Amino acid sequence: MDKKLLVVAVGVALSGFMQTALAETYSYTGSNTWLHTVDTTTTGATGTITFNDWGYTGPTGVGVNDFQVGSGFNSSSVGQVQTVTTVAPDWLTPDPTRNVKPYIGFTTYTNANMDGNVNFYKMAYTTPTSTFNNMQIDTAGNYYVPKANMSFGFYDDFLYNNGITVQNVDTDLNFQPYAISDAKGWCGSVLTSDPNSLEVMAGQVTFDFAFDAYFTDSTPETSSPATQIVPGFVMRSYGDYYVNVTNVGSGYNMNFEGHAVGNNTNPTTVVAGVGGSLDSAFQNKVSFLGAGVVPLGAWVFNPGTQDVTVADDQTYVPGTQAGDVRETDGATWHANDFAGFAFLLRADAGRVVTYINPEGWSDYTVVPVPAAVWLFGSGLLGLAGLARRKKK
């Protein structure tokens, strides 16, 4: 089916569902496993997303459904700052292979290695170079990342690898994601002896994002986009995802599986439900992933601009007021063309700590006073004693 016809068909099939998705929540089912049931009325899809957290928790025991420690980020107590930049896939993480289409229709690429790649409906993409600068972590372990410091590459290609052939496939349905809110969350590096130590550390952030879909093979500036808005996206650097979602409009089942590689961990040792083993050869290398379903739409402010923001209240059903404009706060309804499409985003990356607070980077770790400070202090005490003797 033609791409544009498919979008129209999905939109018509889902026209009865006119409510936006709320942020993901997971229910604990035991054995480190959490279950998110997809809300059909807000997404136009059915199914579940399962997450195994490996038993890992962050500062003060925060976990899957938590996105702040204590009262939240404290800008007056920043303990460290880091930059994370994605890299080309190394195909080492033991995600199962999959038959994929780099675009809707045409050739199926069999037994594709999905490590570092993205599943979206039937399509596949390789995560392009993306950078997250100025990722601030306060001493309690709260993340804060300004939306301007999250820079996503243009999703245009799929690097296909079946173990025999490596081939770059130029897709004809392209995407440009961008953050439309700041990110918040928690980071476990504050629980280690040093931000650069070879120890277990991981974290998660949530933010709203949008992506523009381009129906021709061109740069983002030269074609008209169809904008999709996804509130409450969650990105994690730990755990295992299992997506089993069916699109109501097409009846197509999207069954994806992905495994994160925690910071400092050898990806070849990753085991589902357990994680991997620390390895100095992979120090400050990490992978992250996130899964979800594109909702039917969202209530937003400043639609049609790069300054679009998601309204806090997403429970109102449009159609009950003229023009689908919310009278109470002025938010307007933005409908998504790709509603009901599930995705699993993976990326390999490198992590660089750009700042460590010398006065203390963690509320949980005793920072030893450097030897030079002790020597300086003992020298002052010696001078004070000499002064007293001279005075006498």
DSSP string of 348-377, one letter each residue: EEEEEEEEE-TT-S-SSS--PPPHHHHHHH
Of 241, 240, 243, whose CA–CA distance to 276 is shortest?
A: 240
User: Would you give per-residue pLDDT tens digits along the chain (392 residues)?
Assistant: 333 333 333 333 333 333 333 457 999 999 999 999 999 999 999 999 999 999 999 999 999 999 999 999 999 999 999 999 999 999 999 999 999 987 766 789 999 999 999 999 989 999 999 999 999 999 999 999 999 999 999 999 999 999 999 999 988 788 999 999 999 999 999 999 999 999 999 999 999 999 999 876 655 545 567 899 999 999 999 999 999 999 999 999 999 999 999 999 999 999 999 999 999 999 999 999 999 999 999 999 998 888 999 998 887 666 555 556 676 688 889 999 999 999 999 999 999 999 999 999 999 987 554 544 334 444 443 444 444 444 44
pTM: 0.86
Dihedral sign for Cα 296, 301, 302, 308, please.
Answer: negative
On whether the CB atoms of residues 13 and 296 are closer than 8 A, the answer is no
On whether the CB atoms of residues 19 and 296 are closer than 8 A, the answer is yes
Nearest-angstrom CA–CA distance, 197 and 278: 11
Own/partner contacts of 93-101, CB < 8 Å, gap of 24 or more, are 93/259, 93/261, 93/267, 93/270, 93/287, 93/346, 93/348, 94/259, 94/267, 94/268, 94/270, 95/257, 95/258, 95/259, 95/346, 96/257, 97/162, 98/124, 98/256, 100/124, 100/158
Dihedral sign for Cα 245, 247, 248, 252, please.
Answer: negative
Q: For 236, left (φ over 0), alpha (ψ -120 to 50), or beta?
A: beta
Helix then strand then coil, in percent of the chain rounded to 5, is: 15, 40, 45
**Judging by DSSP bridges, how do beta strands 45-52 and 131-138 pair with one another?**
unpaired
Nearest-angstrom CA–CA distance, 293 and 248: 12
